[in-house]
């Protein structure tokens, strides 16, 4: 079934002088104007088209891609404000309305706002709202530490940036852990860093531990390949320069370079870090194997000799005190007065 406010794959029913009519199922025939017709469009052909209401409130189709669809969280620019509300540019001829009762704060022309696109159940029209809390889950979030999530960056706060997690929950990115430029409405990948007792979620843009190195390694390799196989930025460079160039912390940079160095993927020279296109695996020559066994045998022989020398030493006699203690522990014989000799 075709959905209003969504991109649908619809079949061309017939071609006319002013466009093609698409099969909208329960919505009936929907006009796709000539200016949006794909080349060599024919009856029976499937077309991907976005369905919405035009300025005359007629259902119409377009092959243009809007900046957002129904249920999406997107950042859009205000192009007009009047007595009805604010109008947003969402990439289509008809601007998207944000009624005054759906504005978290009063909107201003030329400003960008993060909004939720929705379909009004009463009027059946498409609109947007900046009152985002009512579209998010009221229950405490339930994620695993380290879990990978999709986020939409929200407003700036004193601590960092708010972010919508998987279109369901609020999370927070802290300023001191952000090493890449962010803007409101940006969609990216993040990882759950901590689950607070109140159910709120702390996020990070990079994985922890070896995962962080694995993520940055291909980025750094690509940088080397794009710069004639050399990087003048090294582990002695400033954290600011590393962050500005690669979007990672100095700690992550040093750990990644060290890991690539062990694998033979890079070398460190006087003029910088060099890329190794075909690293040669380290080989163990046959001559070293007997030598290794010989060393092991020598160590074993030395240990046995030491044990034999210890066994040749006379055992220490038990201490006298212990012997006296044993004697005193024996029961004393009672004297028989009946056998005493008479004087």
Write down the pTM of the prediction: 0.66
State residue 335's pLDDT score.
47
Q: How far apart are CA 299 and CA 2, in angstroms?
A: 80
Residues 83-98: what's their mean pLDDT? Answer: 95
Looking at CATH, the fold of the domain delimited by 210-275 is given as Arc Repressor Mutant, subunit A (1.10.10)
Q: Of the ranges 79-88, 105-114, 143-152, 233-242, which one carries the lowest mean pLDDT score?
A: 233-242
CB 217 within 8 A of CB 256: yes
Q: Can you tell me whether residue 257 is helix, strand or coil? A: helix
Alpha helices for the chain (secondary structure H)? 210-226, 239-246, 250-262, 288-312, 320-329
Specify the pLDDT at position 99: 95
CATH of domain 7-62: 2.40.50.140
**DSSP assignments along 91-132, one per residue:** SSSSPEEEEGGG-SS---TT-EEEEEEEE-TTT--EEEES--
Distance CA 9, CA 11 (A): 7
Beta bridge pairs of residue 97:
87
Q: Is the C-alpha dihedral spanning 56, 59, 61, 67 positive or negative?
A: positive
Architecture of domain 148-204 in CATH? Answer: Beta Barrel (2.40)
Among 50-64, 116-130, 231-245, which stretch is predicted with the lowest mean pLDDT?
Answer: 231-245
Q: What is the pLDDT of residue 248?
A: 79
Give me the mean pLDDT over the 259-278 stretch.
88
Confidence at residue 249, expressed as pLDDT on a 0 to 100 scale: 80
Q: How confident is the prediction for the chain on average, in pLDDT?
A: 84
3-state secondary structure of 300: helix
- Note the pLDDT tens digit of each residue in 285-335: 544 454 555 555 555 556 555 555 555 555 555 555 554 545 555 555 554
Percent of the chain's residues with pLDDT above 70: 80
How large is the average pLDDT for residues 129-158? 92
**Is 73-135 in the same CATH topology as 7-62?**
yes
Q: What is the pLDDT of residue 320?
A: 52
What is the per-residue pLDDT for 287? 47
Longest dimension (CA), the chain: 159
CB 93, CB 60: distance < 8 Å: no
* Of the ranges 47-56, 108-117, 186-195, 211-220, the best mean pLDDT one: 108-117
Give the model's confidence band at 189: pLDDT under 50 very low, under 70 low, under 90 confident, else very high: very high
pLDDT at 343: 43
CATH of 73-135, one of 1.10.420.10, 3.30.10.20, 2.40.50.140, 3.40.190.10: 2.40.50.140
**Residue 223: which of 155, 162, 274, 188 has the closest Cα?**
274
Kindly tell me the burial class for residue 284, based on how many C-beta atoms sit within 10 Å of its own C-beta (0-12, 13-18, 19 or more).
exposed
Residue 196, C-beta contacts closer than 8 angstroms, at least 6 positions apart = 202
Query: Is the pLDDT reported for residue 225 higher than 80?
Result: yes
Helices vs strands, H then E, count in the chain: 5, 18
153: pLDDT strictly greater than 60: yes
Q: Can you give the pLDDT at residue 337?
A: 47
Residue linked to tokens 């291909």 = 218
Average pLDDT of the residues in 214-237:
87
Secondary element (H or E) of residue 165: strand 160-165
Domain residue spans in the chain?
7-62, 73-135, 148-204, 210-275
């Amino acid at each position: 079934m075709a959905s209003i406010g969504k991109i649908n794959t619809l079949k061309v029913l017939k071609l006319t002088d002013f466009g093609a009519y698409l099969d909208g199922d329960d919505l009936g025939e929907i006009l796709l104007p000539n200016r949006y017709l794909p080349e060599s469009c024919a009856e029976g052909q499937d077309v991907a088209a976005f369905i919405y209401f035009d300025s005359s409130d007629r259902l119409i189709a377009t092959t243009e891609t809007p900046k957002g669809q129904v249920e999406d969280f997107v950042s859009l620019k205000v192009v007009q404000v009047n007595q009805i509300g604010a109008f947003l540019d969402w990439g289509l001829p008809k601007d998207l309305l944000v009624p005054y009762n759906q504005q978290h704060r009063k909107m201003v022309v030329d400003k960008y706002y993060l909004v939720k696109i929705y379909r009004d159940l009463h009027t059946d029209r498409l609109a947007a709202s900046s009152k985002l809390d009512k579209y998010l889950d009221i229950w405490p979030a339930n994620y695993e530490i380290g879990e990978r999530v999709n986020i939409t960056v929200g407003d700036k706060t004193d601590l960092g940036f708010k972010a919508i997690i998987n279109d369901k929950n609020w999370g927070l990115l802290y300023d001191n852990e952000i090493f890449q430029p962010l803007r409101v409405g940006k969609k990216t990948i993040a990882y759950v860093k901590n689950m607070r007792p109140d159910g709120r979620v702390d996020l990070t843009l990079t994985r922890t531990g070896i995962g962080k190195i694995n993520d940055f390694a291909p980025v750094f390799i690509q940088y080397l390949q794009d710069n004639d196989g050399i990087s003048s930025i090294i582990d002695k460079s400033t954290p600011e320069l590393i962050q500005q160039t690669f979007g990672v912390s100095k700690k992550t940079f040093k750990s990644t370079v060290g890991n690539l160095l062990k694998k033979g993927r890079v070398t460190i020279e006087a003029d910088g870090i060099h890329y190794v296109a075909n690293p040669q695996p380290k080989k163990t020559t046959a001559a070293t194997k007997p030598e290794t066994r010989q060393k092991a045998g020598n160590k074993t022989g030395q240990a046995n000799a030491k044990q034999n020398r210890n066994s040749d030493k006379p055992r220490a006699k038990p201490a006298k005190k212990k012997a006296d203690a044993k004697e005193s522990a024996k029961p004393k014989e009672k004297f028989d007065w009946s056998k005493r000799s008479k004087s």
